[in-house]
Structure 1
Amino acid sequence: MGNQTESIAKQGGRLVICLRPITLGLWIGFVGTLFAGQLAAQGKLSDLSKTAQARVVKIYGAGGLAGLEAYQSGFLVSPEGHVATSWSYVLDVDPIVVLDDGRRFESKIVGFEPALELAVLKIEASELPFFTVNKQSGIQWGDPVLAVSNLFGIAAGNEPASVMQGTVASITDLDARRGTYKTPYRGQVLILDLIANNPGAAGGALVDAQGELVGMLGKELRDAATGVWLNYAIPSDALRGAIGDIIAGRKSSVVDTSKPMLDRGKSHSPKSLGLVLIPDVLEATPAYVDDVLADSAAMRAGIRPDDLVLLVDGRRVENQRSLRELMRRIDRRDEVEITVQRDTEIVPLMLRP
């Protein structure tokens, strides 16, 4: 952007991008001076960076279409190996988690919250350094922050995660309408004056001058109309409840095997609810809706073609096979709660037979 920097403010309920000329040296000097003052009582900036880096992990999973990267970032939220990260196509397979010291672990997805673009993974480890997710972060406009992530996949082993420093440029509501910033998240975000949307940065940690977690770095978002990139983080206090519910087992992606498989004539199925899915030709074909049968529970609930089924009764739908297995455990006389992704919206629906 040359000798310009972005500031984003909310005016009349809309995000407004303002370009203000400023020399790069002056800006770096200003941010550095601000950090120096804030960190004087806490010790060296390098110590703060190392502490945060020890709590950030590298995540490797599935690649996306058109050569999209197969890696992203996450951060530890418990000493027992729970990792918070951004929900994305990278998690279409059980990913590999690499710790700051280079140790590699296979992980399992224990739960996710699509509306927050949040997923929680679990690795088999203990006594790990972790971030406490506080009720209130206390972060304010103009506060200095560090963004810690595996941007560009540079840190493949025991190399430390990358650290960028900057400030919170604005705190505002994100309205990611179709044709602008595409994300299902609807809520408050921290707008950052650092480049936090590079490949691999999503799911990284945003920390304040005391080393406390204040947010999770968001995905790469670009306004289709203006071409402007948005650098943002979801505040940690918005994530706290969902992270706690997932770790406690109140929201889980694991099939509840305590419920027995019912006979096909007694259980639900996609067809019994009026769902016609796309052809199941792959080992892990996504549960996309191809058509909806007339006068069916699915039609009455408002399911549409091209909807992607994400959850059934709060359980994650990994593919069409898992969808059928989940429905085999639900009595055909019972209603079914289904959550779908429709374009960039997350839509919960209740299907009543």
Structure 2
Amino acid sequence: MYPSKKIILLTLIVFFYVTLISHGKEKNNLFSKVFNESEAKCVKVYGGTLGTEHGYAAGMIISPDGHIITALGMFLSSKKLRVVLNTGDVFYAKVIRRDRALQVALLKIAFKTPNYFNLKNSVVAKPSEWALAIGNPFKVADGKEKLSLNLGVVTMITKLEVKRRAQDVIYNAEAILIDSITGNPGSQGGALVTINGNVLGMIGKVLEYKGTNTRINYAVPGKLLQDFFDGKIKKANNKLTVYIGIQLFSISGRKAPAFIDRVDIGSPAFLSGLKKDDLIVSIGDIKIATCLDYDKAIKELSKGVKVQVLIRRKDNFYKLSLVPSEIKIEEEEEDEDFD
């Protein structure tokens, strides 16, 4: 059964209408005021790239002191992580905190941001209500160019069982599913708001549904983002790390490259195929440049959840799947904040 000409025409009109809004060509319409106000509280985030990993995302300003929330990704490991405000001003950013369960990260820039989303005022999404998704798919906007707007409908609020390529991704929390195309590189970290401008949540990273191997358009609810910002989720999960069974060659200090010095026989690392003298390049979405990076990445893993490890062995690169085992207790260090 094919859609009628009326449905096709209506779809094209809505698409064209929303495109005009996002490019500022239509000033007096239903969504332009909400879009302009919300877009001013969003940012573009640029970091490093590795292989097929995209080095960019969107972000939401969530405090007057330069705090920004975005989606997890390897680009956050860049030493030159940058945030671009809607004015075109560029600032270096620091990663303050990560949460693998929600796939989110908290950044901070050394700049006052009086125009921000107050997550305490976020509202609970309701199925069938309209939602505006603001992001930067495929990095179409640069500098002070406006981000893109997608108009969609909330379909349901549910828990997800998702994966990212061959790697399972933990998401043991509620998610807002949206009938809107947001599962594209660059959209993640953007804002999801109601047509009245109330915050619903943050657009999630590109994920796939295990059942159909299709990408999911979803957002992390505002209440969970607020809990993460307040440190409540981190406090519930701290002091946990896992065992994978390798020891790094760190005689030169923890800032040395993460070369493997020893692999425990029968350990998860041994079973995955890791070997002595392998150089660890990344673990999951986290780029590993030093032994310190490795230490932090291990604390993001969870028992029994498969993760991909990218290594360099002589002149070749290999991706290996590893499943961490028993949990050990260890104090967790939080990333340093700005003064």
TM-score by length of structure 2 reads 0.68
Amino acid at match of 2:58: S
1:80–1:239 CA distance, 2 compared to 1 (3 A): same
Aligned counterpart in structure 2 of residue 292 of structure 1, from 261, 264, 277: 264
* 1:299-318 paired onto structure 2 within 5 Å: none
Distance 1:250 1:293, change over 3 A: same
Q: Which residue of 1 aligns with 2:9?
A: 25
Structure 2: tracts of 5 or more residues without a match: 18-28, 275-279, 308-322, 331-339
The secondary structure found in structure 2 opposite 1:23 is helix
Give the drift of 1:127. Answer: 3.8
Q: How many residues align?
A: 286
Question: Could you tell me how far apart the structure 1 residues matched to 2:328 and 2:61 are?
Answer: 34
SS across alignment from 1:340: coil
Distance in 2, Cα, partners of 1:228 & 1:23: 24
CA 1:135–1:290 in 2, change beyond 3 Å: closer, same or farther?
farther
Aligned residue number for residue 328 of structure 2: 350
SS at match of 1:63: coil
Mean Cα deviation higher: 233-242 or 135-144? 135-144
Alignment-mate amino acid for residue 77 of structure 1: I
Cα offsets for 1:148-196 (capped at 9, x unmatched) = 1111112110001111111112222111269899422222111111100
Unaligned runs of 5+ in 1: 5-20, 34-42, 254-269, 311-315, 327-336
CA contact 1:75–1:204 (8 Å) conserved in 2? yes
User: What is the rounded CA distance, in whole Å, between the counterparts of 1:54 and 1:155 in structure 2?
Assistant: 14
| Distance (Å, rounded) in 1 between the aligned partners of 2:288 and 2:144 | 31
SS of residue in 1 equivalent to 2:160? strand
Distance (whole Å) between structure 1 residues aligned to residue 149 and residue 261 of structure 2 = 42
Partner residue, 2:54: 69
- 1:235 aligns with 221
SS at match of 2:120: coil
Structure 1: how far apart are the matches of 2:231 and 2:225? 10
Name the structure 2 match of 1:212. 198
8 Å contact kept, 2:247–2:262: yes
Cα distance in structure 1, aligned partners of 2:147 and 2:164: 33
Q: After TM superposition, list the pairs within 5 Å mapping 1:49-68 onto structure 2.
A: 49-66=35-52, 68=53
Q: Does the 8 A contact of 2:248 with 2:291 survive in 1?
A: no
After superposition, the CA RMSD in angstroms is 4.5
Q: Could you list the per-position Cα deviations for residues 96-128 of structure 1 after superposition, in whole angstroms to 9, with x for gaps in the alignment?
A: 000000000011111111111110111011143
Which residue of 1 is the match for residue 310 of structure 2?
none
Q: Do the aligned partners of residues 338 and 84 (structure 1) sit closer, same or farther apart at CA in structure 2, a change above 3 Å counting?
A: closer
Q: Does the residue aligned with 2:111 lie in a helix, a strand or coil?
A: coil
Deviation at 1:278, TM superposition (A): 6.3
Partner of 2:99: 113
2:47 & 2:147 partners in 1: Cα distance? 18
Match of 2:291 in 1: 321
Q: CA deviation at 1:28?
A: 6.3
In 2, are the aligned partners of 1:86 and 1:219 still within 8 Å (CA)?
Answer: yes
After TM superposition, give the deviation of residue 242 of structure 1 in Å. 1.1
Task: Label 1:141 to 1:318 Cα distance change in 2 as closer, same or farther (>3 A).
Answer: same
CA distance in 2, matches of 1:233, 1:71: 18
1:227-306 superposed matches below 5 A:
227-245=213-231, 275-277=245-247, 285=257, 291-292=263-264
